[in-house]
A and B are shown apart, each in its own frame.
Chain A
Amino acid sequence: MKPIYHIGRYFMLLKRVFSKPENFRVYFNQFLYEINSLGIGSLGLIAIISIFMGGVITIQSAYNFTSPFIPRYAIGLGTRESIVLEFSPTIVSLILAGKVGSNIASEIGTMRISEQIDALEIMGINSAGYLIRPKILAAMFINPFLITISMFLGVFGGFLFGVFSGACDAEKYIFGIQSFFIPYNIVYALTKTVVFAFVITSVSAYHGYYTSGGALEVGKASTKSVVYNSILILIINLIITKLMLV
């Protein structure tokens, strides 16, 4: 019965999160703050990971595409498709589930145990709406930009490390990344990104919001949020892929 209890409580929380705000201007300021905190704050990590992973994907593709029947530009093509379809939207979202998700759960959890959430409630503020809604909306807004940047940097990283390591030719790589481009793949990737952003922020916030006890429980909430987010992202990834690509 416990999963049903949590699912029910999660949706009850979402109902409170999306009820009418007390003051639109204050909420909008929070939204802008969260864009900076959750989005811009993750840019450095995403950039580093994307460049290096792009390089690894390219080198691995070159290592595997040994058949003379496979043209060399397929390395660029394969790298682009791997990054656009899976690495940037899914793997980067998994990384964000670790970074942003644990951050949200521990921040809100600490606010809970230090009575800051009670303080909001007593002021007559819908604490769930004030704390969680700006985070959800900010992540759903900024993550598609982050993932798009990740795509470009991943493909660029592939070029950089592929060419300098001698795994592929610059000309053929560039030809490869320009070939057989399907715009719908971007729609698919960004759809996944927005859904994952919602999951990461709302599930983490749920775990933080219902923390009780002390520092140990905040740590547990943070860990739980990462675990549940990761599992949910993988399941939802499969569902969206089936719905949109097959």
Chain B
Amino acid sequence: MIEIKNINKTFGDRHVVKDVSFTFEAGKTNLIIGESGCGKTTVLKLMVGLHAIDSGEILYSGENFAAMKQKEQQVVRKEIGMLFQGGALFDSQTLEENVRFPLDMFTTLSKEEKTDRVNFCLERVQLTGRNKLYPAELSGGMKKRAALARAIANNPKYLFCDEPNSGLDPKTSIIIDELISDITKEYNITTIIVTHDMNSVIQIGENIMFVYKGQNWWKGDKTKILNSDNKELFDFVFASDFMKQFFGK
């Protein structure tokens, strides 16, 4: 479980994240949703320490991550897997080397055990037999799946996903969503997904935080989100005519 308490972040004179608090539960897909530029990716980056918070607390299983020294943060980060928007696979390494990388760095597994683990992870994301391909040879969806394989290689306790569906067709998006949801349940991971894809919200949104102008504007789940009377949330969810007609709004 991860808790954020009253976190704030300012870039220059722009107050990007304003007093945001939320609890991300283990074994659930926790979603941070909102319009582009509302601060949701910033919240994610603050949580993993890519940006430093100005004030507040980020608690990983009760330990304040923001107050830790760099070395202590590195220990927590070994339990984190992250799926970046563009995949962020290492260009100079094959798919197998990418997935093996965290294992080489932090485990004492034998070569055979690492190979088994890599093959298991690639199979889990439906990339069996693509071990020797380089990132440049993969499609967008394959890159996302490969990045997911790398993220879960070292059995993370926490999984962060930054817009996992961006740039993907609806069918591949569903595959990625289902994969993330299945992995979350299977390994009881605390998964945090930043997205503005309503299909994802309706399909896998178990614990949702809606960010509006840098603030935590609404919280709930996929059943409540469709019936909320929060105006800003309504405008976000039912932005398209299709959604309005489909749900009779």
Residue of B nearest to A20 (CB): B71
- Which stretch from A113-121, A138-146, A181-189, A205-213 is at the chain B interface? A113-121
**Segment 111-132 of A: residues with Cβ below 8 Å from B:** 111, 114-116, 118-119, 121-126
CB distance from B140 to the nearest CB of A (A): 14
Q: Which of A23, A25, A115, A126 meets B84, CB within 8 Å?
A: A115
A26 surroundings in chain B (CB, below 8 A): 104-105
User: Could you tell me the distance in whole angstroms from the C-beta of A90 to the nearest C-beta in chain B?
Assistant: 31
Give the residue name and chain of the B residue nearest to A22 (CB). B105
A122 contacts which of B77, B85, B86, B105 (Cβ < 8 Å)?
A: B77
From known contacts A123-B77, A126-B74, infer whether A118 and B84 are also in contact, taking CB-CB under 8 Å: yes
Among A25, A26, A111, A125, the one with the most B-chain Cβ atoms within 10 Å of its Cβ is: A125
Q: Specify which of B48, B49, B82 lies most central, judged by the most chain A CB atoms within 10 Å of its CB.
A: B82
CB <8 Å contact, B104 and A115: no
Cβ contact within 8 Å between B78 and A116:
no
Number of A-B contacts (CB under 8 A): 57
Flag if A121 contacts B88 (CB, 8 Å).
no
CB distance from B151 to the nearest CB of A (A): 9
Residue of A nearest to B102 (CB): A123
Which residues from A are CB-within-8-Å of B77? Answer: 121-124
**Chain B residues touching A, range:** 20 to 34
Whose C-beta in chain A lies nearest to the C-beta of B77? A124
Indicate if the CB atoms of B91 and A124 lie closer than 8 Å.
Answer: no
Query: What is the distance, in angstroms, from B245's C-beta to the closest C-beta of chain A?
Result: 38
Task: Give the chain B neighbours of A118 by CB distance below 8 A.
Answer: 50, 82, 84, 88
Is the CB of B209 closer than 8 A to any CB of chain A?
A: no
Q: How far is the CA of A118 from the CA of B82 in the complex (A)?
A: 10
Tell which of A22, A115, A119, A121 has the most Cβ of chain B within 10 Å.
A119
Establish whether residues A23 and B102, one from each chain, have CB atoms under 8 Å apart when the complex forms. no
How many angstroms from the CA of A111 to the CA of B106 in the assembled complex? 21
Indicate whether A116 sits within 8 Å of B88 (C-beta atoms), given known contacts A122-B82, A124-B75, A124-B78.
yes
| Contact in complex: A115, B85 (CB < 8 Å) | yes
B101-123 with Cβ < 8 A to chain A: 101-102, 104-106
Give the nearest-CB partner of A16 in chain B: B70
Report the minimum CB–CB distance from A188 to chain B (whole Å).
Answer: 36
A-contact bits for B63-88, CB 8 A (1 contact / 0 none)? 00000000000111110101011101
B50 touches A124 (CB 8 A): no
Cross-chain contact B78 with A119 (CB below 8 angstroms)? no
In the complex, chain B residues whose CB is within 8 Å of the CB of A125: 74, 105
| B90 at interface, CB cutoff 8 A | yes
Which residues 198-221 of A have a CB within 8 angstroms of B? none
Do A122 and B50 have beta carbons less than 8 Å apart?
A: yes
CA distance A177 to B217 in the complex (A): 80
**Which residues of B lie under 8 Å from residue A25 when comparing CB positions?**
104
**9 A-B pairs with the lowest CB-CB distances in the bound complex, closest first:** A124-B77, A124-B78, A115-B88, A119-B88, A124-B74, A122-B82, A115-B84, A116-B88, A23-B105
Question: Can you report 24 residue pairs joining A to B where beta carbons are below 8 Å apart?
Answer: A22-B106, A23-B104, A23-B105, A25-B104, A26-B105, A110-B91, A114-B86, A114-B91, A115-B88, A118-B88, A119-B82, A119-B88, A121-B49, A121-B77, A122-B50, A122-B80, A123-B77, A123-B78, A123-B102, A123-B105, A123-B154, A124-B74, A124-B75, A125-B105
A binding-site residues for B, Cβ under 8 Å: 22-23, 25-26, 110-111, 114-116, 118-119, 121-126
| Interface of B toward A, CB cutoff 8 Å | 48-50, 74-78, 80, 82, 84-86, 88-91, 101-102, 104-106, 154, 160
8 other A-B residue contacts (CB within 8 Å) besides A23-B106, A124-B77: A114-B91, A116-B90, A118-B82, A122-B50, A122-B160, A123-B105, A124-B75, A124-B76
